[in-house]
Chain A
Amino acid sequence: MSKIDLLRITDRGLYCDAGDFHIDPWLPVDRALITHAHGDHARWGSLRYAGARDGRHVLQTRLGESADIETFDYGEHLSMNGVSVSFHPAGHILGSAQIRVEHRGEVWVVSGDYKAEPDPTCQPFEPVSCHTFVTESTFGLPIYRWAPQSEAFADIAAWWRTNAEAGRASIIFAYALGKAQRVLAGLAHLGEASFYTHGAVERLNRDYRASGIDLPATTYVASVPRGHDWAGALVLAPPSASGSTWIRRFGAASTAFASGWMRVRGARRRRSVDRGFVVSDHVDWPALMSAIEATRAQRILVTHGYRDPVVRFLRERGLESDSLASRWEGEGDEDVMPRGEEISE
């Protein structure tokens, strides 16, 4: 490669020299373009932020009231020092975006986190043609293959029903931003169920509703008087609540974790929950491969997850591919979300 790459890794994150901006920087910078509001992508402390308009409420909650955030419609072009930038739906969580960067006819797309499955809480993933595609690889191994999500939601519903019949509460641990709302929306048809939420989830539910996303009615657990009978309740809580004193109030409840990691039995058992439901906001292996193909990119840079196997696999298929180290590696068992992410009650 003789010419300088349009985007390169610096000690603060992915940087565009021509446009003088960073994408998802992990340290404070002047100008930060943000793919989505998860803690490993939207870091506190930069001077100015830009993101997709759908995500404005969640971004503001995550980055703080005082953060200077400008938001744009999906597909809208903005110019940064002559570099054309636009946000495109990534289907990951509300307001998640792939960032398209174009300069002198060369196009790069940074995927952020993305999934191909439909999700009522955010705009569907949209393939964007490019020369270089920077893709995540959280579930970049062929063992990760999602069954149709209707199956997972049917399993959750059946599990809840069994618990309700046994007079027990059902507690689902799910990441407070995105996963929890998707699970709620996916269970909205369970008209008979009463949904309860941990404070971390409820806070973001508010943002989702303010952004026009339809969620079933939820009750904030802390607002429920002591001595309440939790039989049949369906509780959404962040993973950090697992094993905490907070969950004691539910008595002999059944617990579950909703995550792509639950595809593997060992991960399921290590969580020490009763059930694991495979509900992921990331692409599985087949979707990763078809997404890459759909971009028609010649060069694939792989970040954020199982980089090495994905790079090797793509190379064996004749594509140019390299691994792009980011700061968020080696968190194998987390849904790539740092600790601070989970606001505790």
Chain B
Amino acid sequence: MKAFARLFAAIDSTTRTNEKVDAVARYLSAASAEDAAWAVYFLSGGRPRRLVPVRRLASWAMDASGIPDWLFEESYHAVGDLAETIALLLPESTESSDAPFHFWVEKRLFALAGLDEEGQRRIALDAWRDLGGTERFVWNKLITGSFRVGVSQALLVRAVSRASGVPEATISHRLAGEWKPDADSYRRLVAEGSGQPDVSNPYPFFLGYPLEGELEDLGAVGDWQAEWKWDGIRAQLIRRRGSTYLWSRGNDLITERFPEVVAASEWLPEGTVIDGELLPWREGRPLPFAQLQRRIGRKNLSAKIRSEVPVVILAYDLLELDGVDVRERPLAWRRLRLSELIGSANAESRILVSPVVGAAVWEDVRAARERARAMGSEGLMLKRNDAAYGVGRRKGGWWKWKLEPWSVDAIMVYAQPGHGRRALLHTDYTFAVRDGDALVPFAKAYSGLTDAEIRELDTWIRRNTIEKFGPVRAVRPEQVFELGFEGIQASPRHKSGIAVRFPRILRWRKDKPVAEADTIQALRLLLEQTDS
């Protein structure tokens, strides 16, 4: 645990990618294969679910530190993170443990799952006695299922490559798919040679950067392919050795969630990998994303939900053909093969080629983007015809050009302190629109203000609190903000009857009086525009 905590502290105390890579590589070089396997698991975002109810943990911590619950609560509000609050409040550790990381994970962390409350308490207290400082913080994050660390997959790949001497491309490919955190997996990961990964393994996804500057800066329109950017689940469809595997971009194997897509893939030739988007689809256009969420949320995939929310995969790209990795071929070539492959499918098909936007001049592309909302798409992707299919987010070959979000002018009605980085300031706000004389809350937003604005607003909030409910303050409805959001849909669960997707603050409209803020009717109008 000591070495892993040191690794965490090293990553946490720098924003320089190189230093992070160094720290991870240093850890991996020194660690046993068992420990390294778990480090890879946690650094790539692996998170066991919460093993001990938080309330339970908090109450043991209060007992151990002799602190009344209200003072614990106050402390939590100041810290903004439960695992950290507990780590800070507990008395100093009296022992120190040299047990390796995999021991802590396998014999302590996962042992919690099978124990009764008393057994869990004993493990927690022993751990707190043996672990101090950062080690204790990391442990608490692990048992509360909230361990997170600022390491991207690309960074991890570089570090593993540096520690092992195996090329990044090989590591990247071997890491794609589900990671089994054991010594053998780690040994296979860093083994020399180009050793074939598992038959089910996807390729790393290639991602676009948001477009910078003007379209014209990209050069000739003829060098580019513009296609719709869909708001579904980005996925890879793999057909190898007579089986189909469906992977999400989050590296989840989701084959079983989409039997109709799997069935449709059976005619695909051996050794085919397609990159595309899973979408709820009816009559040639996508259904709202919420429909897909509804379907994913179901434990049992009933025939009813399957007929209500039919799903297709819209194919963007071809990554493997006849068992050969074709990612280095130019996009135009891959696209042609993709059309040949899928174009031969029948009309009822669940696998479609995502259409490209024909454009003779850049103006055509601009015009297409204007139509995106009506198409149920969230904007355009611009891909160079000669670009290879890369790894991760790289500038140059692919650009995403999303729609400007919708926006409304809304009034702040509640505020509460943020967490983590912003625990001492009010940074979480609730916004309302006007409905006659009443205010109807409809969105929460966290981001979009500068640090200076956050401080200014925080001071204003403290001086203009009408009422407090725990950490939440009701404030005088006087401040107007322009909120942007990506989508809007009817929602009976919300008081306003409307739910917006990814709301964020675009601007603090100090110039706007409350009387000129938007109304609920304005939101309903936006909703109608999307439904049409």
Contact = CB atoms under 8 A, between A and B. Distances in A.
A266 B65 contact: no
A264 B78 contact: yes
A270 B79 CA distance: 12
A306 B77 CA distance: 12
Contact of B68 (A141, A306, A316, A332): A316
Contact of B421 (A141, A145, A266, A332): A266
Contact of A143 (B15, B89, B425): B89
Interface string A291-324: 0000000000000001011001100100000000
Interface string A254-275: 0000000001111101101011
Given A142-B89, A274-B15, A266 B74 contact: no
B13 A266 contact: no
Contacts of A274: 13-15
Interface stretch (B80-88, B158-166, B200-208, B341-349): B80-88
Interface string B387-407: 000000000000000000000
A227 interface: no
B67 to A, nearest CB: 6
A246 B59 CA distance: 48
Interface string A42-84: 0000000000000000000000000000000000000000000
Nearest to B88: A143
B491 interface: no
Given A313-B71, A316-B68, A143 B78 contact: yes
A266 B79 contact: yes
Nearest to A159: B13
A12 to B, nearest CB: 20
A17 interface: no
Contacts of A275: 13
A229 interface: no
Interface residues of A, number: 23
A250 to B, nearest CB: 15
B129 interface: no
B419 interface: yes
Nearest to A243: B451
Interface string B38-70: 000000000000000000000000000101101
B422 interface: yes
A5 interface: no
Interface string A162-179: 000000000000000000
B78 A270 contact: no
A26 B424 CA distance: 25
A330 interface: yes
Nearest to A269: B421
Nearest to B91: A145
Nearest to A252: B16
Interface string A273-300: 0110000000000000000000000000
Given A142-B75, A143-B75, A309-B71, A267 B423 contact: yes
Given A141-B78, A142-B75, A143-B75, A266 B420 contact: yes
A333 interface: yes
B421 A270 contact: yes
Contacts of A142: 65, 67, 71, 75, 89
Contact of A265 (B14, B68, B84, B425): B84
A264 B459 contact: no
Contact of B74 (A264, A269, A309): A309
A306 B74 CA distance: 10
Contact of B422 (A270, A306, A309, A312): A270
Contacts of A266: 79-81, 84, 419-424
B151 to A, nearest CB: 15
B74 A141 contact: yes
Given A142-B67, A274-B14, A264 B423 contact: yes
A145 B459 CA distance: 27
B424 A141 contact: no
A264 B85 CA distance: 9
B462 interface: yes
Nearest to B73: A309
B76 to A, nearest CB: 9
Nearest to A140: B74
Contacts of A270: 421-422, 424
A272 B70 CA distance: 31
A267 B13 contact: no
Contacts of B68: 313, 316
Contacts of A269: 420-421
Nearest to A270: B421
Contacts of A332: 424-425
Contact of B88 (A145, A308, A312, A333): A145
B328 interface: no
Nearest to B65: A142
Nearest to B78: A141
A274 B14 CA distance: 5
15 contacts: A141-B74, A141-B75, A141-B78, A142-B75, A265-B12, A265-B84, A265-B420, A266-B79, A267-B424, A269-B421, A270-B424, A274-B15, A308-B74, A332-B425, A333-B424
For the complex of A and B, 10 pairs with smallest distance between CB atoms: A266-B423, A143-B88, A269-B421, A332-B424, A309-B74, A266-B420, A143-B75, A270-B421, A333-B424, A266-B421
Given A264-B88, A266-B421, A308-B74, 5 more contacts: A142-B67, A143-B85, A266-B420, A269-B421, A274-B13
